[in-house]
Amino acid sequence: MRPEKPAAADHVDTDHIAEAARLERTAGMYPEDTEHLLIQAAAHLELAGARDEATTLYDRLLSPTAPRPAAAPLLIRALKASNLWEYGHEAEARAIIAGVRAAAPRDPAPWVIVAESLEQHDELEQAHETFTEAATLLVPAETQDPPYTTHPLLFGRHRVRRLLGAEHDAWDALADRVSTAQVPLDELHDPKRVWSLGSENPAELRAEIARIQAELGSYRQALSRPFPVAILRWPADELTELLAAYPALASEYPSHEAHLATIESSLRELAASGTPNLGVVTGTVPSYEAFAASEGTPPDQPDLLPQYATTLAARGRATSWPPEAGGQCWCGSGVAYGGCHGVR
């Protein structure tokens, strides 16, 4: 969630500042993860009230002279806009938000960030338009199982429509269906709730506390998914190099085709067992060797492979499985998942 307001100028949360500095140092050690780590660092700076420093990090990631082009420039722009608006740069923030909307990203995250920023600043009609544009693009109203990443779009749109007094539509019904909160969304998003907070009636206050606890529970569930349960994938050339350097791992990978088939079958078994938030991480030999060195373990130890996968996922390197409808297969073939490893 975005910070609601900057920290007071005379109070700096040194823990957040220290964590931001640690993440910046780590980014210097792992250039391939710089973007993910600096976005986290900027979030800590925002929470500490150092919003100008957070903007500097966002600009650093978006700079044309950056060592690596930004992998998610629209996400970074959305975060920058939200941050700018919080410390008085409304015009620039609005211009960036307009640009993000015009770009129509296929990732739900930028949409959620800019829509919530508009909502937070009482631009409810604009927030509703933004959420609806995103839902139209990413969540067909007739779908029965929208991707988890789109749930915040549905919930945010439902919330804004309740504030506007709009009647339920198909997307609102879908939001109700996918919500796991113990309290119905209509109750969670009821504008009248704010009045109950000023009540002197103990029963009303207890009811409000129960509603807040339910809402926090749904946020905790989302926040408990920092990275997927990830399975390691080796591109064909990387696997050839790996096995040439470490023949002891050949028993793990009899062939590249078998390796890919095992990944898909393992993911399906995990999904069937009820394991949520599955993903795939892609390994490279130099990265794996660096990880082995950091662990003080020979790279030819099979037990190191799942640890490497978990570390890649924790550093934001995982892609979710299964891919969204029409998305490319996780194997890197460039073919749609439904026509590749997604064939039943």
pLDDT digits (tens, 9 = 90+) for 187-212: 778 776 645 555 666 776 676 666 66
* Average pLDDT over all residues of the chain: 84
Alpha-carbon distances, residue 63 vs 67, 73, 186, 314 (angstroms): 9, 10, 43, 26
254-309 pLDDT, tens digit each: 999 999 999 999 999 988 888 878 899 999 998 888 888 877 889 999 999 998 88
pLDDT of 223 over the 60 cut: no
10 Å CB burial of residue 120 (0-12, 13-18, 19+) is middle
> Which uninterrupted H or E stretch holds 136?
helix 124-138
CATH superfamily of 14-223: Tetratricopeptide repeat domain (1.25.40.10)
pLDDT of 12 over the 60 cut: no
Q: What's the average model confidence in pLDDT over 1-7?
A: 38
Domain with CATH 1.25.40.10 in the chain: 14-223
pTM over 0.85: no
10 Å CB burial of residue 51 (0-12, 13-18, 19+) is buried
Q: Specify the pLDDT at position 8.
A: 39
C-alpha–C-alpha distance, residues 136 and 142, integer Å: 11
Q: Specify the pLDDT at position 3.
A: 38
- Report DSSP state, residue 142: T
Instruction: Tell me the two tokens of residue 259.
Output: 């390796």
Percentage of the chain with pLDDT > 70?
Answer: 85
pLDDT of 215 over the 80 cut: no
75-86 pLDDT, tens digit each: 999 999 999 999
Contacts 24+ apart (CB under 8 A), 103-106: 103/74, 104/133, 104/137, 105/74, 105/75, 106/137, 106/138
116-151 pLDDT, tens digit each: 999 989 899 999 999 999 999 999 867 788 888 899
58-68 pLDDT, tens digit each: 999 999 988 88
pLDDT of 2 over the 60 cut: no
